[in-house]
Structure 1
Amino acid sequence: MTVASQVKQTLNGLKSIEASLRTYSIKSQSKESKAVYSEALKTTNQIVKDVEKRVKTLESQEPQYKGK
Protein backbone atom coordinates (compact mmCIF):
# COMPACT_ATOMS: atom_id res chain seq x y z
CA MET A 1 0.00 0.00 0.00
CA THR A 2 1.38 3.40 -0.96
CA VAL A 3 1.69 6.34 1.38
CA ALA A 4 -0.96 8.21 -0.62
CA SER A 5 -3.45 5.37 -0.31
CA GLN A 6 -2.74 5.07 3.43
CA VAL A 7 -3.33 8.80 3.91
CA LYS A 8 -6.57 8.60 1.92
CA GLN A 9 -7.68 5.60 3.97
CA THR A 10 -6.96 7.58 7.14
CA LEU A 11 -8.95 10.51 5.75
CA ASN A 12 -11.93 8.24 5.12
CA GLY A 13 -11.73 6.96 8.68
CA LEU A 14 -11.60 10.49 10.04
CA LYS A 15 -14.65 11.48 8.00
CA SER A 16 -16.50 8.49 9.44
CA ILE A 17 -15.55 9.56 12.96
CA GLU A 18 -16.65 13.11 12.13
CA ALA A 19 -20.06 11.85 11.01
CA SER A 20 -20.45 9.77 14.18
CA LEU A 21 -19.57 12.72 16.40
CA ARG A 22 -22.08 14.89 14.55
CA THR A 23 -24.77 12.26 15.10
CA TYR A 24 -23.93 11.89 18.79
CA SER A 25 -23.98 15.65 19.23
CA ILE A 26 -27.43 15.91 17.68
CA LYS A 27 -28.92 12.95 19.57
CA SER A 28 -27.39 13.73 22.95
CA GLN A 29 -29.85 14.83 25.63
CA SER A 30 -27.36 16.32 28.05
CA LYS A 31 -26.02 19.84 27.45
CA GLU A 32 -22.65 18.73 28.81
CA SER A 33 -22.50 15.78 26.41
CA LYS A 34 -23.51 17.99 23.49
CA ALA A 35 -20.69 20.38 24.36
CA VAL A 36 -18.14 17.57 24.55
CA TYR A 37 -19.23 16.09 21.22
CA SER A 38 -19.30 19.52 19.59
CA GLU A 39 -15.77 20.28 20.76
CA ALA A 40 -14.53 16.90 19.54
CA LEU A 41 -16.28 17.56 16.22
CA LYS A 42 -14.50 20.91 15.83
CA THR A 43 -11.15 19.28 16.52
CA THR A 44 -11.84 16.41 14.14
CA ASN A 45 -13.02 18.83 11.46
CA GLN A 46 -9.71 20.71 11.65
CA ILE A 47 -7.76 17.46 11.41
CA VAL A 48 -9.82 16.43 8.36
CA LYS A 49 -8.99 19.74 6.68
CA ASP A 50 -5.29 19.27 7.44
CA VAL A 51 -5.25 15.73 6.06
CA GLU A 52 -7.17 16.87 2.95
CA LYS A 53 -4.43 19.44 2.35
CA ARG A 54 -1.86 16.67 2.71
CA VAL A 55 -3.70 14.54 0.15
CA LYS A 56 -3.68 17.45 -2.31
CA THR A 57 0.04 17.91 -1.72
CA LEU A 58 0.69 14.22 -2.31
CA GLU A 59 -1.40 14.28 -5.49
CA SER A 60 0.42 17.32 -6.83
CA GLN A 61 3.80 15.76 -6.09
CA GLU A 62 2.84 12.33 -7.38
CA PRO A 63 0.17 12.72 -10.12
CA GLN A 64 -0.22 8.94 -10.46
CA TYR A 65 -2.02 8.94 -7.08
CA LYS A 66 -4.64 11.47 -8.11
CA GLY A 67 -8.15 10.11 -7.74
CA LYS A 68 -7.09 6.71 -6.38
Structure 2
Amino acid sequence: MTIASNVKQCLFTLKGIEAQLSSFALNSLDDEAKKIFHETSLQIGDVKKDLQYRVLELERHEPQFKGT
Protein backbone atom coordinates (compact mmCIF):
# COMPACT_ATOMS: atom_id res chain seq x y z
CA MET A 1 0.00 0.00 0.00
CA THR A 2 1.36 3.43 -0.91
CA ILE A 3 1.67 6.37 1.47
CA ALA A 4 -1.18 8.10 -0.36
CA SER A 5 -3.39 5.02 0.02
CA ASN A 6 -2.57 4.82 3.73
CA VAL A 7 -3.34 8.51 4.27
CA LYS A 8 -6.62 8.21 2.34
CA GLN A 9 -7.59 5.12 4.35
CA CYS A 10 -6.83 6.99 7.57
CA LEU A 11 -8.96 9.91 6.36
CA PHE A 12 -11.83 7.54 5.53
CA THR A 13 -11.57 6.00 9.02
CA LEU A 14 -11.55 9.43 10.68
CA LYS A 15 -14.71 10.41 8.79
CA GLY A 16 -16.42 7.35 10.24
CA ILE A 17 -15.19 8.10 13.74
CA GLU A 18 -16.34 11.71 13.45
CA ALA A 19 -19.80 10.59 12.34
CA GLN A 20 -20.06 8.05 15.15
CA LEU A 21 -19.04 10.60 17.78
CA SER A 22 -21.62 13.05 16.42
CA SER A 23 -24.24 10.32 16.65
CA PHE A 24 -23.25 9.57 20.23
CA ALA A 25 -23.52 13.29 21.05
CA LEU A 26 -27.01 13.47 19.60
CA ASN A 27 -28.27 10.28 21.20
CA SER A 28 -26.68 10.44 24.64
CA LEU A 29 -28.96 11.14 27.56
CA ASP A 30 -26.15 12.38 29.79
CA ASP A 31 -25.35 16.08 29.23
CA GLU A 32 -21.69 15.70 30.18
CA ALA A 33 -21.31 12.78 27.77
CA LYS A 34 -23.00 14.81 25.02
CA LYS A 35 -20.51 17.62 25.59
CA ILE A 36 -17.50 15.30 25.55
CA PHE A 37 -18.67 13.47 22.41
CA HIS A 38 -19.33 16.78 20.67
CA GLU A 39 -15.96 18.27 21.63
CA THR A 40 -14.15 15.11 20.57
CA SER A 41 -15.99 15.11 17.26
CA LEU A 42 -14.83 18.69 16.66
CA GLN A 43 -11.24 17.70 17.43
CA ILE A 44 -11.44 14.77 15.01
CA GLY A 45 -12.87 17.21 12.44
CA ASP A 46 -9.76 19.35 12.79
CA VAL A 47 -7.50 16.34 12.26
CA LYS A 48 -9.65 15.33 9.29
CA LYS A 49 -9.18 18.75 7.70
CA ASP A 50 -5.42 18.47 8.14
CA LEU A 51 -5.40 15.06 6.49
CA GLN A 52 -7.60 16.29 3.63
CA TYR A 53 -5.05 19.03 3.03
CA ARG A 54 -2.27 16.45 3.12
CA VAL A 55 -4.07 14.31 0.51
CA LEU A 56 -4.33 17.35 -1.76
CA GLU A 57 -0.63 18.04 -1.29
CA LEU A 58 0.25 14.43 -2.08
CA GLU A 59 -1.86 14.54 -5.23
CA ARG A 60 -0.40 17.87 -6.29
CA HIS A 61 3.21 16.78 -5.84
CA GLU A 62 2.71 13.18 -6.89
CA PRO A 63 0.17 13.07 -9.76
CA GLN A 64 0.21 9.25 -9.81
CA PHE A 65 -1.70 9.31 -6.50
CA LYS A 66 -4.70 11.18 -7.90
CA GLY A 67 -7.92 9.24 -7.66
CA THR A 68 -6.41 6.24 -5.87
Q: TM-score, normalised by structure 2?
A: 0.97
Q: CA deviation at 1:10?
A: 0.4
Which amino acid in structure 1 is aligned with residue 10 of structure 2? Answer: T
Partner of 2:56: 56
Partner of 1:29: 29
Which runs of no fewer than 5 residues in structure 1 stay unpaired?
none
SS at match of 1:29: coil
Partner of 2:46: 46
Which amino acid in structure 1 is aligned with residue 36 of structure 2? Answer: V
Deviations 1:19-62 (A, max 9, x none): 10011000001110000001101100000000000000000001
RMSD: 0.5
Q: TM-score, normalised by structure 1?
A: 0.97
Report % sequence identity. Answer: 43
